[in-house]
Structure 1
C-alpha cells in the first residue's frame, strides 16, 4: 500500500528553490601589437561578459563584448572610446569587427567576385583606428555569446525599445567599470545598428541620464522604415529606391544611351523621382494617359526595365522584383546588399531571387574568420556556439515603441529620425557621419536623403559620404580606405575627401 501523501501544516512555510546565481563574468585578456596608420601600437584585448542587473538588483543579461585598449599613457579625457555594433536586428558585431574597424581583417574580393573556399586570409588591419580611439564591439542578447540571466527570457530583449535600453545600460556600466566617463564618446552602427545607435543615444541623453555623445557613425543608414515598406498605398519607397536602381542599371550596362557623367545622371534621376515620379504615383488612377506614357518612358530609361513590364506593375518597382528582372535576359539576378553581385537561380522565370548573392558571397569567409580568431588570437575558451545571426530574433522582434502600445493609438511605423534631430538640437557639438553605398538595395542612399529632408534634421551638420560599393562598402579595399578616412574625420583627425554622387 503506498504511503499516504503528507502535506505541511498550515503554519509551516515551504521554501521555494532560490534561483541559481550566475557565475562570475568570463573575461579573456590577451596582449598584442600592431602597426596602425604608421604607428606601432601595443594593445590589450578583453573579450568578455558584462553582467547587467534590473532595477531590483537581480541578474538580467550578460552582454559579450570585444574591447581593444591601446597601451598608451594618457588621461581618459584625452582618449576617445568608440562603441560599435551591427544590426539585423539579430546580428552579432563580427561584420564591422572583422571587416573594417578591428585590429584584424578578413580579406574578400569587393568588386562582385566570390572569395571561394576556405582558408580565408586574415591579416593585420593597418587601417584600424587604435591610434585615435579605443574600440568596443558589442553583441546584443541572442547573438555572439550574449544571453539572458536569472529569470529573464530572451524575447524580453528583442525589441526596438528593449534593445536600446539594454545597450544604453551596457555602455553606462562599461564606462563605470573601466573608469572612462571622462572620455570623448562615439557610437558606430551599421544598418539596423544605425537605428539602435540613435535610439540608445537618445535614451542616454534624455531625462537625467545626461550621457551625451561626441559623434555618431551611421553606416548604411535606416532611421525611417517608411522608406523601405513596399506596401500598397505607400509610394515613398518607390521614389526612394529609384536612384539606386538607376546606379545598378548603369553599372550593368542597361542604360541606353549611356550618360556621359554618372553624378549628373543620378542628380537627374533624383529630380525626376521628386518632380514627376512621386506625383504620378500619388495620382494613381487619376493620372492623365499622356502623362502616364511619359513617366513610363522615363522610368524605363532610368531603371533599365521594359516599358511593358512597368505598365503591368502600375509603375511600381519592388526591389526583389527589380533584382530578378533587370538581367533576366542574361539568366542572372543581382544582389540586395550589393547590386554588383550576380547570382543564378533554380528558376529563371521566377518572380524573385532565390537568395542574395552579395550575402552568400562573403558570409562564409566572415563567420569562419571570426570563429578562428576567437580561439587562436583572443584565447576565448569554449563557451557556447558563437551566433553570427539569430533569425529567431529577427522574426520575433517587437518593432513598437512604448507610446504605440496604448490601445487608443493607431499602430505606427518605426521612425527614429526625429530623435536624431532632437539629439542635434540638444547637443550642438554632436557630429554625425552617414556612410552610403551607391549599390545598396537594402538601405538606399536617396532614402537617407529623403529621411534627412523630412524629419527636422540639420543637414548642414551631417557628413554625407558615398562609396562605389554596397551595404558593406568596406569589403572593397578602396572604399574601406575612404570609410576609415571619413570616420577619422568624425574623430577630429581630418578626412582627405568627402565625395558626392
Structure 2
C-alpha cells in the first residue's frame, strides 16, 4: 500500500510540473494575443431641414474592426453615417473623407455637408476664441443622399490596435484597400449594394477617391460601381505640382492662382476673376511654358517680354522676377506679394493675410488661412461627436495628425514617387463604367491644390472629357467656410447627384 502511494506520488510529482508548464504556455499565448476588440456603436434619432425638406434621420457613429489574416483585430475605423428614416435603399449613398494624409473628416462634416456646422467668419478674418456657434446646416445633403463620413486610421478617432504595423495601412495603396473594405462592409451591413453610390473627398481625399475607386472598380474587388466621384480641391498629379528646381510645370500650373490672388489684393487689374483666370491660363500654358522650356536660351527682348507679362499677372516687380529667374514658387509669392504692406497671404486661402515676426524673411512664418480656422473646427467636432452623438473615448480627435511623414507614396509597383499621378485611375474607371461622372470643385484662391493643376491633370490622355464638370468658388481650399460658396457647393453637388 505504501509502495502504491509512493508510485502515485511520483507520478503526480512528474505530471504536475508538466501541467503547470502547459498552463504557463497558454497564459503566455493569451498575453501575446490581443483581446478581441469590442466595437463601439452609437445611434441617435434626429431631424432637420435640408434643402428645404424636413428630414428624419439616424446618426450613427461606430467602429468597423479590420482584422489580419489570423483574425486578430488591427484597426478600428470610425464612420459617422447620416441615413434618412424610414430607410430607403433606392436613395443614393455618398461616402466622404478628408485628406492630409492624416486629416479627419471634421472639415467636410462640420463645414459643408453634415447636419451641423461651426459658424465662423470665413471672410479672411481669423476665427478668434471660443465659444463658437454650432448651428443647424440647411446646406447638408440629406434631402438627396445618405452620407457616410470615413476616418481612416490615424485620423479622427480611428486608430491601429495592438501591434499592428503602420506600414500595412499608411500608404496610397494600403489606405485605399482599407477604405475600400470599409465601404464594402458598410454596404453589406446596411443592405445598400444596389443603391446609387457616390464617392468623394477633399484635398488628399481626392487622391484617395481615385485610389479607392481603382480598388473597388478595377483592382482588388471589381464589384462596386459608382455613379459619381466628387473631387473637392483636387490633387492628382503630384509631380506636376512639385516645387523642385528643374520642374517647369509647377510655375505654369501655379501662375493662374497667383494672378487671381494679385487681383484680389489690388496688385493687378481685370474686369473679373473669371476673365483674368482664363487669360492667365492661356498665357501660362502658351508663351510662359514655352519660355521656361527654353531655359537659359531665353534672352534679350523675348525674355523681357515674358518678364513684363509675368509682372502684370503676379503683381511682383520685374526686378524681383528677374532675380527669381522668372520662376515664382508659391512660398515666395506668399511673402513677396504684400511685403510693402507688411503682410503675407495664405496658402490654403490666399484671401487671408497675416503678420510675420518681421518683413525681411524669404517665406511666411505660418499659414494665416489655417491658423485662422483650425481651433473652431476641432472644438466643434469634439462637441458634436462626444456630446451630440454620445461617442465615448479617451482618444484625442486627430484633425491633422503626423502620419503623413510615414506615408508610402509608391503606386503601381514603382520604387519611387518621382511621378505620382492617380489621374489615370479615374480615366480607367470612366472608360470601364459609362455611367460614371466626375464633379470637380475648385476655389480660386487655393494654393494647396491650384485650380489650373486640377484642370491640367484631368485633361490628360485617356480621361473622357464629356463626363467631367468643373465648378469654381470665390474662396480657397475650404471654399465652404464662405457662406455664399457653401450654399453654391451644396447646390452644385445636389445637381450632380440628381442628374444621374
TM-score bin (small chain): over 0.9
1:73 Cα deviation after fit: 4.5
User: CA–CA distance in 1 between the matches of 2:417 and 2:124?
Assistant: 40
DSSP-derived class of the 1:226 partner: coil
Q: Is the 8 A contact 1:141 1:154 kept in 2?
A: no
Asked whether 1:54 is paired with 2:90, we answer: no
Q: From the superposition, tell whether residues 154 and 71 of structure 1 become closer, same or farther in structure 2 (CA, over 3 Å).
A: same
Q: Is the 8 A contact 1:404 1:412 kept in 2?
A: no
1:383-439 C-alpha deviation (Å, 9 max, x unpaired): 311111112x0111111125113xxxx653210011111011000100110000000
DSSP-derived class of the 1:403 partner: coil
User: CA–CA distance in 2 between the matches of 1:397 and 1:455?
Assistant: 28
Task: Indicate the larger mover: 215-224 or 151-160.
Answer: 151-160
Q: Matches of residues 75-90 of structure 1 in structure 2 within 5 Å?
A: 76=89, 78-90=90-102
Partner of residue 164, structure 2:
152
Partner of residue 161, structure 1:
173
Corresponding residue pairs, total: 476
User: CA–CA distance in 2 between the matches of 1:147 and 1:113?
Assistant: 34
Which is higher, the Rg of structure 1 or of structure 2?
A: 2
Partner of residue 5, structure 1:
none
Q: Is the 8 A contact 1:367 1:388 kept in 2?
A: yes
Partner of residue 28, structure 1:
42
User: CA–CA distance in 2 between the matches of 1:427 and 1:213?
Assistant: 8
Partner of residue 119, structure 1:
131
User: CA–CA distance in 2 between the matches of 1:360 and 1:204?
Assistant: 36
1:188 Cα deviation after fit: 1.5
Asked whether 1:480 is paired with 2:499, we answer: no
Q: Pick from 469, 473, 486: which aligns with 1:463?
A: 469
Q: Is the 8 A contact 1:147 1:154 kept in 2?
A: no
1:167 Cα deviation after fit: 0.5
Q: Pick from 228, 231, 245: which aligns with 2:244?
A: 231
Partner of residue 191, structure 1:
203
Q: From the superposition, tell whether residues 73 and 86 of structure 1 become closer, same or farther in structure 2 (CA, over 3 Å).
A: closer
User: CA–CA distance in 1 between the matches of 2:431 and 2:222?
Assistant: 17
Q: Matches of residues 131-280 of structure 1 in structure 2 within 5 Å?
A: 131-207=143-219, 208-255=221-268, 258-280=269-291
DSSP-derived class of the 2:239 partner: helix
Task: Indicate the larger mover: 96-105 or 38-47.
Answer: 38-47
1:493 Cα deviation after fit: 5.5
Partner of residue 449, structure 1:
455
User: CA–CA distance in 2 between the matches of 1:52 and 1:114?
Assistant: 39
Q: Is the 8 A contact 2:63 2:79 kept in 1?
A: yes
Partner of residue 440, structure 1:
446
DSSP-derived class of the 2:266 partner: coil
User: CA–CA distance in 2 between the matches of 1:321 and 1:262?
Assistant: 22
User: CA–CA distance in 2 between the matches of 1:126 and 1:38?
Assistant: 7
Q: Is the 8 A contact 2:119 2:135 kept in 1?
A: yes
User: CA–CA distance in 2 between the matches of 1:372 and 1:264?
Assistant: 43
Partner of residue 7, structure 2:
none
Q: Is the 8 A contact 1:43 1:70 kept in 2?
A: yes
User: CA–CA distance in 2 between the matches of 1:228 and 1:411?
Assistant: 13
Q: Matches of residues 2-13 of structure 1 in structure 2 within 5 Å?
A: none
Q: Is the 8 A contact 2:36 2:72 kept in 1?
A: no
Q: From the superposition, tell whether residues 411 and 104 of structure 1 become closer, same or farther in structure 2 (CA, over 3 Å).
A: closer
Partner of residue 429, structure 2:
423
User: CA–CA distance in 2 between the matches of 1:358 and 1:69?
Assistant: 33
Q: Matches of residues 324-403 of structure 1 in structure 2 within 5 Å?
A: 324-391=335-402, 393-403=403-413
User: CA–CA distance in 2 between the matches of 1:262 and 1:41?
Assistant: 38
User: CA–CA distance in 1 between the matches of 2:424 and 2:34?
Assistant: 43
User: CA–CA distance in 2 between the matches of 1:91 and 1:374?
Assistant: 16
Q: From the superposition, tell whether residues 296 and 264 of structure 1 become closer, same or farther in structure 2 (CA, over 3 Å).
A: same
User: CA–CA distance in 2 between the matches of 1:127 and 1:265?
Assistant: 30
1:267 Cα deviation after fit: 1.7
1:488 Cα deviation after fit: 0.7
Q: Pick from 69, 80, 86: which aligns with 1:72?
A: 86
User: CA–CA distance in 2 between the matches of 1:229 and 1:113?
Assistant: 29
User: CA–CA distance in 2 between the matches of 1:73 and 1:448?
Assistant: 37
Partner of residue 306, structure 1:
317
When normalised by structure 2's length, the TM-score is 0.92
Partner of residue 404, structure 1:
414
User: CA–CA distance in 2 between the matches of 1:39 and 1:275?
Assistant: 48
1:279 Cα deviation after fit: 1.1
Q: Matches of residues 71-110 of structure 1 in structure 2 within 5 Å?
A: 71-74=85-88, 76=89, 78-110=90-122
1:163-197 C-alpha deviation (Å, 9 max, x unpaired): 11110111111111112111111111000000001
Partner of residue 13, structure 2:
none
